Amino acid sequence: MKVCCICKISKLLINYHKDKTSKDGHSYQCKSCAIEKAKKHYLNDIEHSKKIRNNWKQKNKDLSIKLCKDWREKNKEKIKINHKNTEEKLRENLSYSYVKRLLTQHNGFSKEHITNELIEFKRIQIKLKRLLNGELV
């Protein structure tokens, strides 16, 4: 057992990262506090964090591609659920991209001929249809 110096809670050593420089071989802060600290650090300077990540990706292109591919392979179900949730939100909110896709796929418009006014008209049409079908309250 060890007490985290951040949250002051006594936890098992498994809840601490290993640290060779520490007397007991574990970090002074628990994993959950370390994660919170890292998140805050990232959010305080997002641009710098993105710059570092992009530099690493450029220097390690092959590894980066392999890691992404491996992650996608291991998380197919998670990706499918996220995609489904995103599609539902786009449909529900009648987003610009959703309405534009409807116009191109179902109404035969080419992307060049779709104007903002046409998208707004289609949104109104969909809202009226939903209202008539009892989908909107």
The answer as to whether 79 is a domain residue is no
Q: Which element (helix H / strand E) includes 35?
A: helix 31-44
Say if 81 falls within a structural domain.
no
Q: What digits encode the pLDDT tens for the residues 29-58?
A: 999 999 999 999 989 999 999 999 999 999
Which pLDDT score is estimated for 134? 85
Report the number of distinct structural domains present in the chain. 2
Give me the pLDDT at residue 93, please.
92
20 and 55 part of one domain: yes
49 part of a folded domain? yes
State whether 116 and 52 are in the same domain.
no
pLDDT surpassing 90 at residue 68: yes
Q: Judge if 16 and 56 occupy the same domain.
A: yes
Would you say residue 52 lies in a domain? yes
pLDDT, average across residues 54-76: 96
Q: Binning pLDDT at 50, 70 and 90, where does residue 136 land?
A: low
The answer to whether the beta carbons of residues 30 and 15 sit under 8 Å apart is yes
Q: Give the pLDDT confidence score for residue 7 in this predicted structure.
A: 96
Q: What is the pLDDT of residue 90?
A: 93
How does pLDDT run across 82-120, given as a tens digit for each residue? Answer: 999 999 999 999 999 999 999 999 888 888 889 999 999
pLDDT of residue 2: 95
Q: Does residue 86 sit within a domain? A: no
* pLDDT reported for residue 3: 96
Q: Residue 106: what pLDDT?
A: 87
Pairing of β 16-18 and β 10-11: unpaired
Select from 42, 32, 41, 43 the least CA-distant residue to 8.
32
Domain extent at residue 101: 92-132
What is the rounded distance in angstroms from the CA atom of residue 107 to the CA atom of residue 101?
9
What mean pLDDT do residues 15-33 have?
95
Supply the Cα-derived Rg of the chain in whole angstroms.
Answer: 25
Instruction: Please report which confidence band the pLDDT of residue 137 belongs to, taking 50, 70 and 90 as the band edges.
Output: low
CA 75 to mean position of chain CA atoms: 14
Domain-ending residue, one of 74, 108, 123: 74
